[in-house]
Amino acid sequence: MEDGLNAYVGTIFDLHNRTAIVSGGAGLLGREFCKALASAGANIVLADNDEISMDSAEKEIRGMYKNSPITKHIIDVTNEKSISECVMFTEREFGNIDILVNSAAIDPKFDEDSDTSSYSSFAEFPIDLWNKSTEVNLTGTFLLTQAVCRNMERRGKGSVINLGSNYGLVGPDQGIYKRKDEKPQSYKPVVYSVCKAGIIGFTKYLAAYYAGTEIRVNVLTPSGVYNKQDDFFVKNYASRTILRRMSNKNEFWGGVIFLASDASSYMTGGNLIIDGGWTAW
Ligand SMILES: NC(=O)c1ccc[n+]([C@@H]2O[C@H](COP(=O)([O-])OP(=O)(O)OC[C@H]3O[C@@H](n4cnc5c(N)ncnc54)[C@H](O)[C@@H]3O)[C@@H](O)[C@H]2O)c1
């Protein structure tokens, strides 16, 4: 089995001859989505606005799947011209676009080296961060999906996967984000919850809009991924989950392959929640 790329051949999870654009494909989860789709044989366009991270992501994925038909293209999801160039590039390289993973986001992280200084209290929350986040997380998702759907409409078929969060479903427990002796305190930003809740509305709208076609639109909802956060944070976060731990970054592979492939052929307008049970109690 060359590179393990044939593992799903002959199954409903097989993605050979299917093409995926993964926006934010250089991110922490974005590159895992690329690896997962590559493992099922998909053609992949890794699209991101961070060229350096994109290079390292491509290298990482090629290290695992030497013969994967993966390529990369710079994109700014807030810019229609840039989106159009990326979509045209994908069409030139591979023809049809079968899968879109909308993973590009401003995702306020609390990792060891994150700068949390702009994650202020609700009363002080900066309008700049509100605007920047809604522009990428909501407008960017809308613009890229619109451009890709023009391609999917030609065949009346495709799978759009939008990224949610447990915080699109329930409010953050700010106690988790309180760091010892930190002044002023950092908070998980209000705009993140607003965007992730908006993603669910966008998904349901679009799924319903494409009624009677095979264009399916779903949300994949992760919760916090372990990425070298400090012990205090990890312990607090883990205690809020039923599984009593944060997720590992590779624990969404099955979810993305499922939503991208024929395995989820009867699922649209849905939300695949992979959150260790966070929202179940
Ligand atoms: N990591 C988590 O703990 C977690 C938990 C729940 C949900 N999510 C969601 O999953 C998705 C992926 O998360 P991640 O951990 O990979 O995030 P990340 O911050 O590591 O990656 C986001 C990527 O988007 C790119 N990006 C930002 N602005 C862009 C733009 N204008 N155009 C193109 N690319 C742009 C960044 O360069 C980055 O590579 C996000 O929607 C996030 O909100 C993540």
pLDDT at position 181 is: 74
> pLDDT at residue 114 above 90?
no
3-class state of residue 125 by DSSP:
coil
Average pLDDT over residues 68-72: 95
Share above pLDDT 90 across residues of the chain, in percent, rounded to a whole number: 89
> pLDDT at residue 1 above 50?
no
3-class state of residue 213 by DSSP:
coil
> pLDDT at residue 132 above 50?
yes
Q: Which atom of ligand 1 is nearest to the CA of 53?
A: 39
Output the CA 152–ligand 1 centroid distance in Å: 24
3-class state of residue 182 by DSSP:
coil
For ligand 1, atom 17: residue with the closest CA: 27
Confidence of residue 2 (pLDDT cuts 50, 70, 90): low
- pLDDT, one tens digit per residue, over 145-201 is 999 999 999 999 999 999 999 999 999 999 998 877 777 788 999 999 999 999 999
Does residue 86 have its Cβ closer than 6 Å to ligand 1?
A: no
Average pLDDT over residues 128-142: 98
State the chain's mean pLDDT as an integer: 95
For ligand 1, atom 39: residue with the closest CA: 27
Does residue 257 have its Cβ closer than 6 Å to ligand 1?
A: no
Tell me the pTM.
0.97
**70-28-247-261 Cα dihedral, nearest 10 degrees:** -30
Enumerate domains of the chain plus CATH numbers.
Answer: 2-273 (3.40.50.720)
For ligand 1, atom 11: residue with the closest CA: 103
Instruction: Count how many residues are written for the chain.
Output: 281
Output the CA 2–ligand 1 centroid distance in Å: 31
Does residue 203 have its Cβ closer than 6 Å to ligand 1?
A: no
**74-77-80-83 Cα dihedral, nearest 10 degrees:** 40
Average pLDDT over residues 222-238: 95
Starting at the earlier edge strand, list the strands of the sheet with 70-74.
70-74, 43-48, 19-23, 99-102, 157-163, 214-222, 271-274
> pLDDT at residue 112 above 80?
no
157-181 burial: b if 16+ Cβ within 10 Å, else e: ebbbbbbbbbbbbeebeeebbeeee
Does residue 26 have its Cβ closer than 6 Å to ligand 1?
A: yes
pLDDT at position 110 is: 84
pLDDT at position 108 is: 87
Does residue 144 have its Cβ closer than 6 Å to ligand 1?
A: no
Lowest mean pLDDT among 52-61, 111-120, 218-227, 253-262: 111-120
Output the CA 255–ligand 1 centroid distance in Å: 17
